[in-house]
Structures are given as C-alpha cells and as structure tokens.
Amino acid sequence: MKTTASCLKVVVFGGPQVGKSAVTVRFLTKRFIGEYSSGTDCSYQMMFRYEDAALKVEIVDCSSSSDLEKNKEVDTADAVIVVYSVIDSESLKSAHTILDFLNKRVHFSVPVLLLGNKTDLEHLRQVSRDDVMRMTRNYGCRHCEVSAAESYTGVNRPFQQLLADGLETRRTRLGHVKRRKSLFENVSRRLGNVFRRKSLEEVLPKRRLPTVVENMNRRSV
Ligand SMILES: Nc1nc2c(ncn2[C@@H]2O[C@H](COP(=O)(O)OP(=O)(O)OP(=O)(O)O)[C@@H](O)[C@H]2O)c(=O)[nH]1
C-alpha cells in the first residue's frame, strides 16, 4: 500500500453542544460516545485507505469557545465541516456566522460541508429545512443531516465524500501552483534570452568575437 506524502486536514466548527465531538468520534471510531469535556479544541489523526493508498487525515475539532477571527486552523484546512443541531435554532445562526466568516477568509475553494446533527430527535426539530436549503445555495456548500447517536453509516458517507472533495481540491491547487511556477519560469527564461541577445549586440560592433575557425587556427599555431 502506497503512503501519501502529506496529511489531509479537516476542520470542524459549530456552535456549543451541537455534537462536533460526537460526529467526529463516530466517524473515526464508529462508536457514539455520549459525553466529552466541553469547550476544548481536540485534534485527531487517523490513517485511511483511499484509492489503494494510505491517507493520513487530521480532524481538528474547534471548540465553540474558540474565537473565529483568531482561528489559524482554517488557513491550512483542506476541508471544513460546519455542524448545527436540528433541535437548536441558535446553532443554525452560529453556522450562518461561521459560513460567512469562511466565505470571507478562505481564499481558495476549500470544500465545506454543512452538517445537521441529532436527527434522532426529529420530534424536537427547531431548524427549518427551507432556511438550511437557502444557506446551502448561498454558500455553495454540501449539506447533510445525520445522527451521531443513531447511525455510523449516516455519518460516514458525508465525511467520505468531503475527504474525496478535499483531496480533489488539494490536487487542483497543487497543479495550479506548478502551472503558475512553470509559466513564471518560461517568462523569466524568455526575458533572459532577450537581455542576453541585446547585450551581445551591444558588444559585437566594438569587439568582434573570435569565430570558431579563428580559435582553431590560434590553437594550431
Ligand atoms: N440525541 C443525540 N444527542 C447527541 C448527538 N450527538 C451528540 N449528542 C449529545 O449532545 C451533547 C453535546 O455533544 P458534543 O459532541 O460534546 O458537542 P460539541 O459540539 O463537541 O460540544 P462543545 O465542546 O461544547 O462545543 C452531548 O450530551 C452528546 O451526548 C446525537 O446525534 N443525538
């Protein structure tokens, strides 16, 4: 199994108690763990098999108490998940603020997944599906609703899709940097040629360069 050189980084945001840790741990371990220490950032690293290669994935679970503006994780993210809870309308407002922040802050097109959690509590739903659809359209992000408590498969599918999107974006970005580099090298080579030619033209009339034949003659003397 080949090992990919670097690590794919996924950053998870969301309001308080929406289940950021729960969905992350569900994806990574297949288990639902009810309680986590609240208000602390966590980072998880795992190896996955992807397209016959080992892929290292780092998931950074940003606590809701983290100051968004000071968050540096997002600058190096390959993908972002914004979690809300379907039973908490305030959490959708937080998600809106986060998507807005990402829209301004992230310069390259990092794939974003808007992930609704706690669908097992559908009878307590506060979040309107229309509002979510509007946000998804406005920000051009993927959307899915799951229950970390109920289903591993439900959580696994959108995560897998996001990892695939993240890898694709990284490849495109790297390809773009290489193309930009070779374009730059081309231009500088051409400029170099122009200046070299110009300086020869300036020198030639004053001091004629010896021809190959003259050089041979000199050596044979
Ligand atoms: N019913 C239900 N409860 C859930 C689900 N996911 C998480 N919870 C519960 O929601 C609470 C918050 O979950 P966490 O994973 O700690 O949430 P968080 O977003 O990481 O919380 P902060 O660290 O405070 O930001 C816990 O009591 C979980 O047991 C779910 O899918 N269904």
Domain map (residue ranges) of the chain: 2-175
Question: What is the Cα gyration radius of the chain?
Answer: 27
Q: Is residue 202 very low, low, confident or very high in pLDDT (cuts 50, 70, 90)?
A: very low
Query: In the structure, which protein residues have their CB atom closer than 6 angstroms to any atom of ligand 1?
Result: 14, 16-22, 34-36, 38-39, 63-64, 117-118, 120-121, 147-149
| Ligand 1 atom index nearest CA of 22 | 15
| Ligand 1 atom index nearest CA of 24 | 15
| Pairing assessment for the beta strands 42-50 and 53-61 based on DSSP bridges | antiparallel
Question: What is the 118 CA–ligand 1 centroid distance (Å)?
Answer: 8
CATH of domain 2-175: 3.40.50.300
Residue range 82-87: mean pLDDT, rounded:
98
Most confidently modeled range among 1-10, 38-47, 175-184, 203-212: 38-47
Question: What is the 16 CA–ligand 1 centroid distance (Å)?
Answer: 9
Residue 164's Cβ-count burial label (10 Å; 0-12, 13-18, 19+) is middle
Residue range 30-35: mean pLDDT, rounded:
88
CA dist 78 and 173 (Å) reads 10
